[in-house]
Amino acid sequence: MRSDEVKKGYHRTPHRSLFRATGLKDEDFEKPFIGVANSFIEIIPGHFFLNKVANIIKEEIRANGCIPFEFNTIGIDDGIAMGHDGMLYSLPSRELIASSIESVMNAHKLDAMIAIPNCDKIVPGMIMGALRVNVPTIFVSGGPMAKGYKKDGTPIDLASAFEAVGKHEAGVISEEQLRDIECNACPSAGSCSGMFTANSMNTLMEAMGIALPGNGTILAQTVERETLYRKAARRICEIAKEETARKKFTLKNILNENAVRNAFAVDMAMGGSSNTVLHMLAIANEAGLDFQLKDINAISRNVSHIAKISPSLTNVHMEDINRAGGVSAVMKEMTKRSNNILIDNLTISGENLLQLIVGAEIKDKNIIRTIDNPYSEVGGLAILYGNLAEQGAVIKTAGLTGSRVFTGKAVCFNGQQEAVDGIIGGKVKEGDVVVIRYEGPKGGPGMQEMLTPTSLIMGMGLGSSVALITDGRFSGATRGASIGHVSPEAAEGGMIGLIEDGDEIHIDVDNYILSVKLSDEEIGKRKANFVPLKKKLQSRWLSQYRALVTNASNGAVLKTDL
């Protein structure tokens, strides 16, 4: 066992002394040591109960002949960090989480791991850290939140709360209506109820085979969810106790190129968050796989969009997908279109993907559509290229409310706050393209999520007549013609930094185009005089991050010199 390094032989006398101080006895040194990487933190509704989840898991691990060691990572609630400079810390926290897992697991030579993420970039952070360790790892998330209801019975969620601000701003809803939404949007513990970043990533873990079926959709704090926690704990013990299984089920053996392809395919079928592109590229990079941004459209072209969930369809939530058969039923339906999903791939359960989903069925065809009645014949995300995004940009086509082709005049803002002030101040009109730059991984730094400006645009009734492009990113709750991750970013001299008010910007989703109508001569002239802005930073951590981060077309991973 890997843990023999810290527990066997007379050289390890001091080590065993320390373990004995934590309560270990003679017989425990024969058992596998399992890291329980928890992301319990009191401020996030998806995480404040994870201490109880870990207790259930540890109890099950002990009952199954292994020794659990729980440790915690940090977490940031993007909803609470949204709309102010706290959001600068969101994406960088992915790196802290990954590195903390690597540090604890490798320093103590633990044999296997069960990871308990739930929200947003905490999920990829944990996956990235686990890939560096590469011991058998199973993921079991906290679980999604139930949807909420307004007094009049309309289903709502956190996206409704963000958009309500825009509606109130535009005088469409009263203070009382705003309060009704505030008090009812988030009715229970769990990751926010739509297909936002958290639930997108928790869903993709099923597609990758690193979590058990139900991980993406079974509501938090239910009996069904507790069963899933216990099952995951038993499975990791089963693997950890057996030498051949420990070799067979290392994380990189499960999370291979096919798993990444399956993740993107399911993402396309269910209209996942645009952040999945960033995170899956970072995961592929961490796994040492040759998977690039440009490979994504080929997957999208081949996958039908069969499940629409909030924010794309505002009355459908994860609990509905669960009731309709879950992610397994989506994947089973996908198998009916050729090469949609690579079903031979091994999963952490010990079965291949096909064996896992073969018994699944769609129980409500209004919620999960059949392959012959899709929302569209292509997936819910697209990568756009052009002179404005030579290294690519991302749009969630599933969330489009207006036309798939759009030409408009640029209204430029250097940073999110300037844009929010401009939108509220009436600077943006029908037919405009809002340009928010210097918000990329380096420029922000940290690539803020722009849910506030996109929700304002939706709430103010401009969702179908205004587009938005940024080198920053969006939350999973963003909808409308919102194009993010524009690379190269303004801070590294990208074209988005050279656009001027009134320039004509062209977007064509089905032909994957994002361009500005300027002659090469004009572009050359502007480039010759261009000095990108560089923000003065107060934060040591963010300045370290800025020095190391690469642009979004690489998943905003940190430069390393191995």
Ligand X SMILES: CC[C@H](C)C(=O)C(=O)O
Q: Which residues bind ligand X (CB under 6 A)?
A: 78-79, 120, 158-159, 192, 196-197, 273, 275, 449, 475-477
Q: Binding partner of residue 192 among Mg ion, ligand X, none, CB under 5 to 8 Å per kind?
A: ligand X
Q: How far apart are CA 421 and CA 514, in angstroms?
A: 25
Other CB atoms within 10 A of residue 327 CB: 29
Min dist CB 210 to ligand X, Å, is 20
Query: How many positions of this chain bind Mg ion (CB under 5 A)?
Result: 5
Judged by CB, which is closer to ligand X: 159, or 436?
A: 159
Burial environment of residue 356 by CB neighbours within 10 A (0 to 12, 13 to 18, 19 or more): buried
Query: Active site includes 475?
Result: yes
Min dist CB 26 to ligand X, Å, is 48
Residue 267 among known ligand-binding residues: no
Residue 19, CA distances (Å) to 24, 34, 69 in order: 6, 14, 11
- Residue 553 interacts with Mg ion (CB under 5 A)? no
Interacting span for Mg ion (CB under 5 A) from 57-65, 195-203, 259-267, 373-381: 195-203
Express the helix, strand and coil content of the chain in percent, nearest 5 each.
45, 15, 40
In the sheet with 67-72, reading across from the earlier edge strand, the strands are: 67-72, 33-38, 112-116, 137-139
Least Cα distance to 47 among 79, 89, 82, 87 occurs for 79
| Strand, coil or helix: 391 | strand
Which residue is catalytic, options 90, 191, 475, 482? 475
Q: How far apart are CA 40 and CA 46, in angstroms?
A: 9
- In terms of phi and psi (left: phi > 0; alpha: psi -120 to 50; beta: otherwise), the region of 177 is alpha
- Give the E-state strand segments of 432-559 in sequence order: 432-437, 467-470, 482-487, 504-508, 513-516
Least Cα distance to 237 among 54, 63, 105 occurs for 63
- Give the E-state strand segments of 388-535 in sequence order: 389-395, 405-414, 432-437, 467-470, 482-487, 504-508, 513-516
Judged by CB, which is closer to Mg ion: 200, or 551?
A: 200
Token pair 């990235």: residue: 128
Q: How far apart are CA 321 and CA 76, in angstroms?
A: 26
Q: Which of 3, 328, 475, 515 binds Mg ion (CB under 5 A)?
A: 475
- Residue 439 interacts with Mg ion (CB under 5 A)? no
Interface map 98-137 toward Mg ion (x if CB under 5 A): ----------------------x-----------------
Min dist CB 273 to ligand X, Å, is 5
Min dist CB 78 to ligand X, Å, is 3
Judged by CB, which is closer to ligand X: 104, or 263?
A: 263
- Residue 347 interacts with Mg ion (CB under 5 A)? no
- Residue 78 interacts with Mg ion (CB under 5 A)? yes
Judged by CB, which is closer to Mg ion: 122, or 138?
A: 122
Question: Site residues for Mg ion, window 246-305 (CB under 5 A)?
Answer: none
Min dist CB 76 to Mg ion, Å, is 9
Judged by CB, which is closer to ligand X: 119, or 254?
A: 119
- Sequence ranges of the binding site for Mg(2+): 78, 120-121, 449
Q: What residue ranges bind Mg ion (CB under 5 A)?
A: 78, 120, 197, 449, 475
Residues known to be catalytic: 475
